[in-house]
Amino acid sequence: MTPPHNPAVDGDRRVVINEVGLRDGLQNFPVILSIDAKLDLYTALRRAGLRRFELTSFVSPKAVPALADAADFVARVPRDETLLTALVPNRRGYERARAAGLRSVAVVLAATETLNQKNIRMSLPAAAAECAAVCRAAKEDGVHVRAYVAAACACPYEGITEGTRVMELAAAMLEAGAHEIALADTIGAGHPAQVEALFGAAVAQFGAARLAAHFHDTRAMALTLSWIALKAGVRRFDASIGGLGGCPFAPGASGNLATEDLAFMLEQSGFETGLSVDGLMAAAAVAGRLLGAPVGGKIGPWYAAQQRHEGARSVH
């Protein structure tokens, strides 16, 4: 059998970053943004070159009050070539996302029994069946569907996740019609050797074109893990502006990998993201202003110092 196309081997330098700050970032933040504020942030992110967004979740407004405005927000986001998607936990969420005019959704299946219970109040088999039903419906409707396999490295309740289980769930979602699998280190507990093995196996079995990586930076490992997934062949990454993020139902989950940190590392290493790091820094500043909190990735202080330095040079 011919092995699947592997961008790492074929030298493909283009990387797509999916901005998840408006969903993963805001779902857990103590401040609830208005739709106008979300649109301001979206506009700043678009200006920085982002063309793929997970905008919100069509979940229970009681479970995630910060995203209760999902339909109204989506209605106000301009329609252009940008890929707009939303997380849906069940068929009800899928129908709501469709009614809001979205052509792309993401289902979320945790790799462990307990996290499914805590997150969407379903057993693992029930969650797998529900996600598969959404994948099948989406495929039939011509809607792009991503399946997250959450807690792909570790679960806050059950500890380290077996890679074989992640692979089985990913295979089941692809079989049901998912176009893309996002392997998500939901609580940022993965380590390089684990991620190398997991992504190596996933690329070999499913092909890099069907995979995305979603890392949280809880233990300052997210950039390293991204590099490892990149070397395995993955060219699609999630990130959140300013490193916002965390799952309210997964204790210990902290911010996502910051978009500006990832974009900077990739650009420096000769990969093409289509993003402006200046624009991302500006968007992070917008997020901080709107949320009234200091946000920002690891390069923020250094970047600001560079700019002050350059500003001082141009004055003298």
What is the set of active-site residues? 247
Residue 161 contact, options Zn ion, ligand COA, none, Cβ 5-8 Å cut-off depending on partner type: none
19 forms part of the interface with Zn ion (CB under 5 A): no
Tokens 């069509």, located at residue: 58
Residue ranges in contact with ligand COA by CB under 6 A? 27, 57-60, 63-64, 87, 89-90, 92-93, 96, 108, 119-121, 247, 249
**Residues 6+ away with beta carbon under 8 Å from 66:** 26, 27, 28, 29, 32, 33
Q: Whole-number minimum distance, CB 293 to ligand COA, in Å?
A: 20
**Cβ contact 148:108 at 8 Å:** yes
CA distance 94 to 102: 9
Q: Whole-number minimum distance, CB 239 to Zn ion, in Å?
A: 10
CA distance 108 to 152: 12
Q: Whole-number minimum distance, CB 256 to Zn ion, in Å?
A: 6
Residue 59 contact, options ligand COA, Zn ion, none, Cβ 5-8 Å cut-off depending on partner type: ligand COA
Would you say 37 or 63 has its CB closer to ligand COA?
63
Give how many residues touch Zn ion by CB under 5 A: 1
Interface pattern 76-115 for Zn ion (x via CB under 5 A):
----------------------------------------
Strand partners, 144: 104
Residue 50 contact, options ligand COA, Zn ion, none, Cβ 5-8 Å cut-off depending on partner type: none
CB atoms within 10 A of CB 241: 31
Q: Whole-number minimum distance, CB 297 to ligand COA, in Å?
A: 21
20-28, 47-55, 67-75, 224-232 -> range binding Zn ion (CB under 5 A): 20-28
User: Residue with CB nearest Zn ion?
Assistant: 24
Residue 60 contact, options ligand COA, Zn ion, none, Cβ 5-8 Å cut-off depending on partner type: ligand COA
Q: Whole-number minimum distance, CB 202 to Zn ion, in Å?
A: 18
DSSP 155-203: ETTTEEPPHHHHHHHHHHHHHHT-SEEEEEETTS---HHHHHHHHHHHH
Quote the DSSP letter at residue 243. G
Sign of the Cα torsion 166, 168, 171, 176 reads: negative
54 forms part of the interface with Zn ion (CB under 5 A): no
16-24, 222-230, 293-301, 306-314 -> range binding Zn ion (CB under 5 A): 16-24
Tokens 């196309």, located at residue: 5
6-14, 18-26, 111-119, 136-144 -> range binding Zn ion (CB under 5 A): 18-26
Would you say 208 or 212 has its CB closer to Zn ion?
212
Alpha helices, DSSP H only, in the chain? 7-10, 35-47, 70-76, 91-99, 113-120, 124-141, 163-176, 192-206, 222-232, 259-268, 277-291, 300-315
Sign of the Cα torsion 115, 62, 102, 39 reads: negative
Would you say 110 or 295 has its CB closer to ligand COA?
110
- For residue 236, give the amino acid letter: R
Strand partners, 258: 240
Residue 133 contact, options ligand COA, Zn ion, none, Cβ 5-8 Å cut-off depending on partner type: none
CA distance 65 to 101: 21
Q: Whole-number minimum distance, CB 128 to Zn ion, in Å?
A: 19
For Zn ion, the binding residue among 19, 24, 130, 185 (CB under 5 A) is 24
Residue 255 contact, options Zn ion, ligand COA, none, Cβ 5-8 Å cut-off depending on partner type: none
Footprint of Zn ion (CB under 5 A): 24
